[in-house]
Amino acid sequence: MDEDQDAELPVRNLVLSVCDLKQHGETPSSRCGAQTVTIATRMYLHGGADEKAAYGDLHLLEIEQMKWSELQAEGAPPARYGHTIKAYNTDLVLFGGLVTGDGPAHPPPFLPGTGWAHAGSPDNGLYILQTQHLRWQIPSCVGAPPSPRSFHSALVVTERRGVTSDYYVIFGGSGDSEFGTPLGDLHLLDLRSMQWTSPQCAGAPPPRMAHGMVQGPEDQLFVFGGTDSPASPLPVPGVLFSFSLSTSTWTRVQLQGTPPLERCFHTFDLIGKWGFIFAGATATNMSDLYILDVQTMRWARPLYEGQVNVRAHASAVLHDKLIVFGGVRDKATGTKKAEVESRISKKLFFLNVLEVKSSVAEGDFKFKLVTVGDSGVGKSCLLTRFVQDLYSDTHNSTIGVDFKTVITMVKGRLVKLQLWDTAGQERFSVVTGNYYRNSDGFIFVYDATNRPSFDHVEQWLGQVKLHHECGPSTMKILVANKMDMVGQLAVSEEEGRAKAEALGAFFVGTSAKTAANVDMAFLTAAQSLVETRRKQKEPTGIHLGAPAGPAGARPGPGLQRQNSAKAKCCVGG
């Protein structure tokens, strides 16, 4: 087989670029549950909370200069978090949230077990900020307003089926301070007449809070995610619901592609034809970005470097970019999985999705990666998930060698990955051994529910060494697949990490079925190989030892660099 041929065109041609931005001026303090909104090239940030207090301050970011200033506005509403703010012309419309008050303090579900020192009560106050005059007003409304709530969703709808209409739409939320009363009602505020209405809706989805809502084509509103549990962020099923403003009817949307992991405390934003579902709390504690093409109603998952674990953050849209501020991030403090510290952040970064054209034949770098391991551990499933974002429960054993190609972007450079899937049966060892030669890296895969496949990893490494010198520049990754099958695990993550350390490899715990950490496994290899290749091209300097890890990337749960005496594992950015 010709290694340079494109055996199949890559389906995943979207690449996510994440840019951590340097902030200037009066940078807002770390906070979660805040709200951001853009008007032209200005971004306003309001409210939010940390462990000590809720905030009622208002900040302005001049995006072109990346400079913050704190604004002093008349008639400011009480401090709060978990509210909504949306732009309407040059005004900002605020509703609800948890307002600082008396009573016992209840830590929010996205930050359990912390010393949360302040109490909050759900509010149903409506405030409008005139940004040109920096004046908050409480408008006089008619009709029954929504009940007090927090962590609801809201939208300003200015057009329905080509007809101008100015509505502030509110759906769901939490109705008490203990996050134990999820709501499922929908309310409309006519921003011209300032009249509240609560339509009788058919087919309403289950009540929820901490979900996301965007406007779809014509008069549709799309809702995704959320939770109905007060004890912990256990997401509701990952189903997309559509609400028709003209018929007041809810429907469950039939979609193509692999849906996102179920999540809550995420963000859902519309940029052009794409709906961005970013980060949040999931059952796997893994953050990612999914894109919904609202025209074709198909899910896509862009490839991207590193991992950004964040929840209860604030997001806003600027042109074709998503701006993210603050939220809660997890950072590992030791080598054990349980040693994870949750921290409230004040980081600001851009997300931008780029499209790699299918006409691109070569990248700036080309690397050959070979998957190795027992038959049935999921090597083919991992490759198919990475290259095409597809999964099938039907297992067909690889005969000899399979080959896939994908072009992605790593550190701003196009990288062509040649991915070789070798058979795990002993009778094919002579055939597959020929493909180990000239490989840039090896991905050793075992089934975390199958102990023998884990025990055989050293044997596979020995077979590789019969055909490859496995020098210091050779990338090695140990992948534990099927980590989603928690009740059937036969190998602990700690054992996997220890073996990876002995092999001088990265460790990644994955699930081809749920897509958890699959991209990370392959892109970690690509990042390290790019870094090694760049160092080799430097005119001076001698670089010894194992290939460097991804510069600037901070691996998430299940990813650990194993080439030092004391292993380290970091989550988030």
533-539: average pLDDT: 74
Q: What is the mean pLDDT of the chain?
A: 84
DSSP codes joined into one string, 373-401: --TTSSHHHHHHHHHH----S------SE
Domain-wise residue ranges, the chain? 11-333+340-355, 365-535
Task: Give the separation between CA 291 and CA 277, rounded to whole angstroms.
Answer: 6
H or E segment and range at residue 276: strand 274-278
Q: Which of 81-95, 103-117, 412-426 has the lowest mean pLDDT?
A: 412-426
* Residue 462 phi, psi dihedral angles, 5° rounding: -60, -40
Between residues 545 and 470, which one has the greater pLDDT? 470
What letter represents residue 18's amino acid? V
Residue 3 has pLDDT above 80, yes or no: no
- Residue in the block written with tokens 């862009």: 302
* Amino acid 563: pLDDT: 34
What letter represents residue 511's amino acid? S
What letter represents residue 128's amino acid? I
Residue 88 has pLDDT above 50, yes or no: yes
Between residues 179 and 258, which one has the greater pLDDT? 179
111-122: average pLDDT: 88
- Residue in the block written with tokens 């199949």: 8
* Amino acid 363: pLDDT: 62
pTM, two decimals, is 0.77
Task: Give the separation between CA 511 and CA 378, rounded to whole angstroms.
Answer: 9
Between residues 6 and 58, which one has the greater pLDDT? 58
Which of 3.30.450.40, 3.40.50.2300, 3.90.1010.10, 3.40.50.300 would CATH assign to domain 365-535? 3.40.50.300
* Amino acid 331: pLDDT: 75
Task: Give the separation between CA 7 and CA 54, rounded to whole angstroms.
Answer: 56
Between residues 20 and 428, which one has the greater pLDDT? 20
Q: What's the DSSP call for residue 21? A: P
The neighbouring-strand residues paired with 316 are 323
Architecture of domain 11-333+340-355: 6 Propeller (2.120)
* Amino acid 243: pLDDT: 97
Q: How far apart are the first and last CA of the chain?
A: 41
Buried b (16+ CB within 10 A) or exposed e, 468-477: bebeebbbbb
Q: What's the DSSP call for residue 327? A: -
Between residues 253 and 550, which one has the greater pLDDT? 253
Q: Which of 302-306, 370-374, 394-398 has the lowest mean pLDDT?
A: 394-398
Strand residue runs (E) in 21-57? 24-25, 35-39, 42-46
CA separation, residue 24 to residues 34, 257, 325, 327, 479 (Å): 19, 41, 14, 19, 41
- Cβ pair 292, 274 in contact under 8 A: yes
Of all residues in the chain, what percent carry a pLDDT higher than 70?
Answer: 81
Task: Give the separation between CA 417 and CA 464, rounded to whole angstroms.
Answer: 20
> Which residues neighbour 381 within 8 Å (Cβ) at sequence distance 6 or greater?
391, 392, 395, 481, 512, 513
Q: Quick: pLDDT tens for 403-433.
A: 788 888 777 778 888 888 876 444 444 445 6
Task: Give the separation between CA 241 and CA 230, rounded to whole angstroms.
Answer: 22
Beta pairing, strands 163-174 & 182-190: antiparallel
Buried b (16+ CB within 10 A) or exposed e, 364-383: ebbbbbbbbbbeebbbbbbb
* Amino acid 432: pLDDT: 54
pLDDT category at 398 given cuts 50, 70, 90 is very low
- Cβ pair 244, 219 in contact under 8 A: yes
* Amino acid 233: pLDDT: 54
Q: Quick: pLDDT tens for 336-367.
A: 454 678 899 999 988 888 776 655 555 678 89
Residue 333 has pLDDT above 80, yes or no: no
